[in-house]
Amino acid sequence: MFRYLPPATRTIILSNIAVFLLQLLVGPALEGVFALQPLGQGFEPWQLVTYAFLHDRSSFAHIFFNMFAFYMFGPELERMWGTRRFTVLYFASVLAAALVQLATTSLSGSAEATEGASGGVFGLLLAFALLFPRRKLFVIPIPIPIPAWLFVTLYGLLELFLGVTGREMGVAHFAHLGGMLGAALVMLYWRVQASSR
């Protein structure tokens, strides 16, 4: 299955799986160094990227759903853009998600570390919806297919609502929105660059 994926998609998925297995072996020591720590509470610059390769060891669903979404949306975007642009967009989303999360934890006074590829995945979701807005998606529990633009809009609004109300603790909702922002800024930059040629 993996050999048919384009190179960046395959490498990122396999890297996440390998790091998750390493987390299961090593435990919290790995997370203390590489998870995104709040500013002034163990933050190091490399964590702006490394956090995206870590996932909650107590929940297989965390890595499964992130990698499943990556598997569903990554290949088409990478084949259309090429590996270099796809990688740039993904890691720009990861970085933007980290910066928004750092701001959020600073404002809230939270001491929680952040881990997971969700910020990057949300960037891919936004990019997919912008490029293929009318593509129909089957989303559980919605009984009918809905266009990508509507799914991503509703998902973004849900993340905003949950982030503002704090109804789902332990989930970095604003980091997800930060990932979408990162993807939007990269795509806007590409569009401006293309129009100026």
In tens, the pLDDT along 116-148 reads: 999 999 999 999 999 999 999 887 777 788 899
Q: Tell me, what's the pLDDT at 127? A: 97
Six-digit token string for 66: 């992130």
Structural contact between residues 21 and 54, judged by C-beta atoms closer than 8 angstroms:
no
The CATH number for 2-195, chosen from 1.20.1540.10, 3.30.930.10, 1.10.3720.10, 3.40.50.720, is 1.20.1540.10
Q: Which residues contact 44 (CB under 8 A, 6 or more apart)?
A: 33, 37
Neighbours of 123 (CB within 10 A): 32
Mean pLDDT of the chain: 91
Give the residue, 142 or 50, on which the prediction is more confident: 50
Q: Is the pTM of this model over 0.85?
A: yes
Q: Is the pLDDT of residue 2 over 70?
A: no
